[in-house]
Amino acid sequence: MDDQIGRFTQVITAQLKQSGHGSAHDSTKKITLIIHVGTPKTGTTSVQTYLSKKQRKLRTKGILYPHNLEVSNNPGAPTHHWFEKNLVSTHVDNFIANVSNVITQIKSETHTVILSSEGIYNYWWDFPEASKDLLGELAKLFDVKLWVWFREPVSFMQSYYKQCIRNPKVASNPCYGKDLSFNDMLDIPWFAQHLDYQGFVTQARMIFGENSVSAFEYKGDIVKQVSTLLGLATAHDNPTPRQNTSLNQASITLLRAINHYDVKAKDKELLMPLIKDINSVMDRYTNQCVTDEAAKQRVLSLVNPVTFSRTHP
């Protein structure tokens, strides 16, 4: 594995030099690499859609929001899920291919690259040590700035629970597509560990550097926060519409019934538009809350709260 990581460093260093940008030993010319890691359910889809639509404007400011490899499953998607997928499996060759693809899009005037995927936080605790070593090498090649938004824990875990219920089953995941109550899911360490806000920040700072990780409070309109950080915000900007609709209790009950069966991912995808229609109608009869007071107190007892960065967007 050390040889593979060494090859990553060698290949990417050579490509960066060829592009006219810095090496691991020349910090004055390093490309800034902003990695937006989520967390899930903090408007990441809205951010990714916004950055994708603003690609041309970003380029005029020397900022690259890169396209994915054409051979990827969904090359037109505005998110960079390849990042965490190749780290979970420590697939160094694929990671090299994707980072190389990013570098081919860098122009002489480019000074900043942005990657965005909520899956980085989602699967952080699944990354093997070798993958975290790979991230350490990435931090030597780029001036990495990791941005993470944290939501109030009870609302976060409610929303994340709903996402897990609506996801298709994955053999390696103990929560996706399962017929579980909120309390049942809290009993699963993989689910509960997403409340370790400060633990994530501490680990990330150990890899990328103490001043390289910024933890922000999620305040609802994350697109406005991101555009402000990037210097794109104007006084005429309108609030960003939500990209995803929250599921109510009736829809959760239906999804749990569906999850009770071994439904294939493609068939569940066919059912989701029907669930959304039902959700819209049932909003008049039920609410979106899936927790009681005892569950809320349990979440608050499990959360490891984060100290937010002093610089707020």
Q: pLDDT digit string (tens) for 12-62?
A: 999 998 887 765 555 557 999 999 999 988 999 999 999 999 999 999 999
Asked if residue 258 belongs to a domain, the reply is no
What's the chain's length in residues? 313
What domain count does the chain have?
Answer: 1
> Could you give the C-alpha distances from 156 to 76, 160, 195, in angstroms and in order?
28, 6, 9
Amino acid at site 35: I
Asked if residue 286 belongs to a domain, the reply is no
Amino acid at site 168: P
How far is Cα of residue 99 from the mean position of the Cα atoms in its chain? 17
pLDDT digits (tens, 9 = 90+) for 160-171: 999 999 999 999
Instruction: Give the per-residue pLDDT at 231.
Output: 86
Q: Which stretches of the chain are assigned E, i.e. beta strand?
A: 32-36, 63-64, 112-116, 143-150, 213-217
Instruction: Give the per-residue pLDDT at 269.
Output: 95
| Mean pLDDT, range 61-68, rounded to an integer | 95
Decide if pLDDT at 270 tops 80.
yes
Give the Cα separation of 187 and 192 in Å (integer): 7
Token reading at 43: 């408007």
pLDDT digits (tens, 9 = 90+) for 201-237: 999 999 999 999 999 999 888 998 899 889 887 655 6
Asked if residue 138 belongs to a domain, the reply is yes
Q: What are the φ/ψ torsions at residue 199 (nearest 5 degrees)?
A: -60, -40
Asked if residue 78 belongs to a domain, the reply is yes
What's the pTM value of the predicted model, to 2 decimals?
0.90
Percent of the chain with pLDDT over 90: 78
Helix-helix angle 249-259:265-282, to 10 degrees:
160
CB contact at 8 A, 82 and 71:
no
Task: State which residues form the domain around 149.
Answer: 2-153+190-242
pLDDT digits (tens, 9 = 90+) for 89-146: 999 999 999 999 999 999 999 999 999 999 999 999 999 999 999 999 999 999 999 9
Task: Name the CA dihedral angle for 53, 135, 108, 228, rounded to a multiple of 10 degrees.
Answer: 40
Q: 308 versus 246: which is more confidently predicted?
A: 308
End-to-end CA, the chain: 39
Asked if residue 68 belongs to a domain, the reply is yes
Pick the closest to residue 173 from 152, 151, 188 (CA basis).
188
The CA-based diameter of the chain, rounded to the nearest angstrom, is 62
Tokens 């889809």 map to which residue?
45
Asked if residue 212 belongs to a domain, the reply is yes
Decide if pLDDT at 242 tops 60.
no
Asked if residue 123 belongs to a domain, the reply is yes
- Cβ-count burial 204-216 (b if 16+ within 10 Å, e if not): beebbeeebbbbb
Asked if residue 115 belongs to a domain, the reply is yes
Q: Which residue blocks in 124-171 are alpha helix, DSSP H?
A: 129-141, 153-166
Q: What is the DSSP letter of 172?
A: T
CB contact at 8 A, 185 and 167:
no
CB contact at 8 A, 84 and 122:
yes
Instruction: Give the per-residue pLDDT at 1.
Output: 75
CATH code, 217: 3.40.50
